[in-house]
Structure formats: structure tokens, C-alpha cells
Amino acid sequence: MATSTQFKAMAALHPKEKLQLWEYEPTPLGDRDLELKITHNGLCHTDIHMRDDDWGVSQFPLVAGHEVVGIVTDVGSQVTSFKKGDRVGFGWIRDSCRVCYHCLQGEENICRQGYTGLIVGNHGGFANRMRACADFAYKIPDALDSASAAPLLCAGITVYTPLRTYIKYPAMKVGIVGIGGLGHLAIKFARAMGAQVTAFSSSSDKETEAYEFGAHHFHRWGTSETLEEVKGSLDLLICTSSAELDWDLTFSLLGNNGVLCFLGIPVSSINIPLIPLIFGQKSVVGSVVGGRRFMQEMLDFAALNQIKPMIETMPLSQVNEAMNKVIANQARYRIVLVSENK
Ligand SMILES: [Zn+2]
Ligand SMILES: [Zn+2]
């Protein structure tokens, strides 16, 4: 009798192991849960960190996948916001306390109690089915295809949140360091928000693409001399790179009131020069994914402006090859795993 409800997943049975086909009995559908037939998953580097238990929070067998798009196949008795057949997505956050100050602002990503990650202690999207609370599901707008929508649910919201927070006026000067999964989306969103966008990359072969994504200017990341004309000009500089940079140089690109925002974790700490920080009223901030307030807005904004990630699709059965490609930095710029779902 149980066999009919078994979910088929690609799971890591132990840390650092290849993913393999694994079946599990899902927890009963809760009153507020949705069940999805999964069609697409964006592959995020975090899935690989979770597979390898890099942060010590993974539980095995681990079913990763937290940029999940699928079709609703069942709804709990209390669910009013979705119905069978709806196309929905889930991102990195599965749940939060919902009552702290930040949750009440729609900033579940900085919940005082700490949010619950979609794949921390729960099974995620690398499967044929998934169950999770409907309150953290998002409607995928009709104008976004599912493959394009998937990476928006983690990579998209990660760049949208700081851009939405710190872009204060049209033509504001926004710099994006690193043109990868996050950076290329940041260029597209910043451009659509009306910013004057400068893209920085250590590889000059990204220049043409940077302009195609919407950058107004491109600079090869290099020395103080090569970046001389940008110095002291940027209102917002978003660092998506996980490579270590020259922080004095990075900081010197900010204009007065400028904000340096970290999304990646290239090093555990940096030295900030206090004199220019104080006398230029500059800020150094961090940002992590995003809450419910911005999530649906981001999807609707992306649909309206046709902001889509550059993706390549691979079948879910090739998830191990896809992970190797991400590790080798060969994904351009996001791999979307397509479920062969019966
Ligand atoms: Zn992610
Ligand atoms: Zn909270």
C-alpha cells in the first residue's frame, strides 16, 4: 500500500557521495501543505555545499534542490491560495517563526529565530514529488517559462533583494563584481530598475555578454590604475564573486554614501578603512536570499520585464555531471535540471 506514495529522488546517501536514485515515504500531507509534481530545479552551489556537508547541517540521505518549480498535485485542507494544477515555485526558505519583527515585515530571511531551509532536515526538489508548506510557495507568472523561473527562486531573489533595497533613484550608479549565476542576473535586474550599470569581471571574455545582459559599462577587474576612472563613483557595489579581491581597491570605487554589499563569502573577514568610511558616509552590508515580501514581487517584475537567467538544461538523472560542471565553473550561467516525471 505504501508503494504508491513513495517519492523517487536523486539523493546523496552519505556526505560527498554521488547522488543516486532513492525512494522515500513522504511525511503525511499537512493541512497547509502542497504536493508538487516537480518539473524543474535550478542547480545552486549551495546544493553542492549541502551534499558535501560543508556547513555541518546536512542530514542524510539528502535530497537537495531548492530552486524548485512544479505543478500542484494535492493541497492540504486549509490551503486556500493554491489549487491543483497551479504552477508554483519554492526557494531556499521553507518556513520561519512568522511572528518576529522581521517576519512581520516579510523579511523571513533574517527571522530572529532563524528560518528553516528547504533542504535542511527536509527533502527538496531533486525528486519526482515534494511536499512543503503552501505559505512559502510562489505563483510562477504565466509570462515566465518554468526553466527560466527556477533559478530566480534562489539566485534571482539573492540579487533582487539588495538591488531593491539600495537603489534609491533612477540612473543610480550600480557596480556588479563577478559575472556568474548571481552576477548576470544582477546586471539584468539593475538595468531594469533604471540603474546605470557597471559590470566587473576578471576575464575580459565576459565583456560582450555583460553588454548583452544590459551593462552600460564593463571593466576588467585589475589594478588601481585600470579602474582609475571608476574610483569614487559608485553608489552601490554588489560583490557576487567568491574569489578574494583587493578590498582597499574595491572600497575605493564607492562614492560618498556608497554601499558595498556582499552576497558571496570570499573570505571570513575583511579590513575596512575607517577614515573614508566615516568621512564619505559609506556602508558595508551583507544580504542573504530574500523574504516573502520581495519574492512574489521579484517574480512579477521578472515576468513584466522578461528578465530570464541564461541557462542550460540537463536531465535530473545527470545531476552528478551537472554538479561537476558547476564545480569546474563551466555552467553558463545556471544549469536547470529537468525532471523526467511520469
Ligand atoms: Zn541557492
Ligand atoms: Zn521570525
> How does pLDDT run across 264-323, given as a tens digit for each residue?
877 778 888 899 999 999 999 999 999 999 999 999 999 999 999 999 999 999 999 999
How many angstroms does the Cα of residue 226 sit away from the middle of ligand 1? 33
How many angstroms does the Cα of residue 158 sit away from the middle of ligand 1? 8
How many angstroms does the Cα of residue 256 sit away from the middle of ligand 1? 32
Long-range interactions of 16-25: CB distance < 8 A, separation 24+? 16/51, 16/52, 16/53, 17/51, 18/320, 19/51, 19/64, 19/126, 19/319, 19/320, 19/323, 22/61, 22/63, 24/61, 24/63, 24/123
Ligand positioned closest to the Cα atom of 156: 1
> How does pLDDT run across 39-72, given as a tens digit for each residue?
999 999 999 999 999 999 999 999 999 999 999 9
For the chain, give the mean pLDDT.
95
How many angstroms does the Cα of residue 91 sit away from the middle of ligand 1? 8
How many angstroms does the Cα of residue 48 sit away from the middle of ligand 1? 10
Ligand positioned closest to the Cα atom of 90: 1
Which class for 283: exposed (0-12), middle (13-18), buried (19 or more C-beta within 10 A)?
A: middle
Ligand positioned closest to the Cα atom of 288: 1
> How does pLDDT run across 93-129, given as a tens digit for each residue?
999 999 999 999 999 999 999 999 999 999 999 999 9
How many angstroms does the Cα of residue 274 sit away from the middle of ligand 1? 33
**What's residue 4's pLDDT?**
61
How many angstroms does the Cα of residue 105 sit away from the middle of ligand 2? 9
> How does pLDDT run across 182-191, given as a tens digit for each residue?
999 999 999 9
What is the fold of 2-139+310-338? Answer: Quinone Oxidoreductase; Chain A, domain 1 (3.90.180)
> How does pLDDT run across 228-259, given as a tens digit for each residue?
999 999 999 999 988 888 888 999 999 999 99
Ligand positioned closest to the Cα atom of 104: 2
Ligand positioned closest to the Cα atom of 119: 1
Where exactly are the structural domains of the chain? Answer: 2-139+310-338, 157-286
- Is 157-286 a domain of CATH 3.40.1190.20? no
The b/e string for 174-204 (b: 16+ C-beta within 10 A; e otherwise) is bbbbbbbbbbbbbbbbbbbbebbbbbbbeee
How many angstroms does the Cα of residue 92 sit away from the middle of ligand 1? 6
Ligand positioned closest to the Cα atom of 67: 1
